[in-house]
Amino acid sequence: MDSEFLAAFANDVRFQAGVSLGASTDSDKSPMDLAREQARGLVDASKVYHAAKLPPASAYQVQDKTIPVEGGTICLRCLIPTGIEDGVGLPVLVWFHSGGWIVGDLDQDDSHLRSICVELQLCVVNVDYRLAPEHPFPTGVNDAYTAVKWVADNTDTLRVSLFKGFVLGGDSAGANMATVCAHLARDDPFFEGREPTGQLLREPSVVQEEVYPAEYKAELLSMEEFKDGPLLNRDTLKQCRALLQAPPADPRISPLLFATHAGVPRAFVTYNGADPLRDDGRLFARVLREAGVPTKEIMYPGVPHGFHYSFPDIALGRKADQDIRDGLRWLLADGVSE
């Protein structure tokens, strides 16, 4: 593994004792509550790191929008650069956070997204989809898709021109949702003439282990290779997926299994060399490319899942941050003029 990561990990007290979702504890809190508390601690530490990198508050505005979804409402945090001339439309990134479908919220990537909003001069819509187990599958992905439709219908409110770029992005479970939404939108007449134009897929989960296709099993080796890895292991993944209650073969949880990937928007895919999900990302990038989808991929050697959250200041963490920005630039490079 990467020596700088190993040194940082060994000296970080946050990881001396993990929380297993299936384990009993001496606390009055449930394992789920403890897992969410631990995730909140990581988010708070990340916010401290990114605080010094935040752009001036005057450079962007924040609008929290509550939208209706089936059985309730969700919040969308919309980040919009200021100082935009009247009549000028912005590209948009619709973002879905990580957390194994069971943890996470709008704050998880908030600081990072504010920085991207200003640096790249694009609108960011951060989606607070509902979580399992309180809201099992397909609630979360349905929320995500409803949010994408809301963005398409509210371009004036957001000061957005979808022709400048309409990117769906996310991390881990969020990347899963992003590519699911891209596939669903491809086949939905609702999006005719206003199709998503890009996918930003960071360490994606694209197929559940129980339904690995026979033709790809020889390429999907990382789940076994890193089953006991740091930050994310096979048991935690199984616990998250059990709480989600999704049929493993449903393409809305295993998007590798969509009948075809032709016609989805271009993709920027990153994955980590010591991650159980490494081969999900690597295989998906190849499958997209073989389907005729323009695709770029980057692998970070010797680091595990989510390393960029916990250790953003190691060399690969800084590279991953810059790569996301450069990947977005590539996805937006060929925006079509109105």
> Per DSSP, what are the bridge partners of residue 60?
81
Residue 172 annotated as catalytic? yes
The distance from CA 275 to its chain's CA centroid, rounded to whole angstroms, is: 15
Which of 135, 305, 321, 323 does the annotation list as catalytic?
Answer: 305
Residue for token pair 């890009």: 198
**What are the C-alpha distances in Å from 83 to residues 27, 123, 124, 160, 332?**
50, 13, 16, 14, 20
Q: Which of 170, 163, 82 is nearest to 125 (CA)?
A: 170
Q: Which of 111, 172, 205, 222 is catalytic?
A: 172
- The upper half-sphere exposure of residue 4, i.e. CA atoms within 13 Å in the direction of its Cβ, equals 13
Cα–Cα distance for residue pair 226/304, rounded to 1 Å: 9
Distance CA 103, CA 113 (A): 18
The beta strands (E) that lie in 156-272 are given as: 166-171, 198-202, 266-272
* Cβ-proximal residues to 280 (8 Å cutoff; 6+ apart), any chain: 204, 205, 206, 207, 220, 222, 256, 271
**Degrees, nearest 5: CA angle 67-68-71:** 145
- Torsional sign, CA 215, 218, 220, 223: positive
In Å, how far are 5, 226, 306, 311 from 1, measured between CA atoms? 8, 11, 14, 14
Residues 110, 275, 279, 321: which is the catalytic one?
275
- Active-site residue numbers? 172, 275, 305
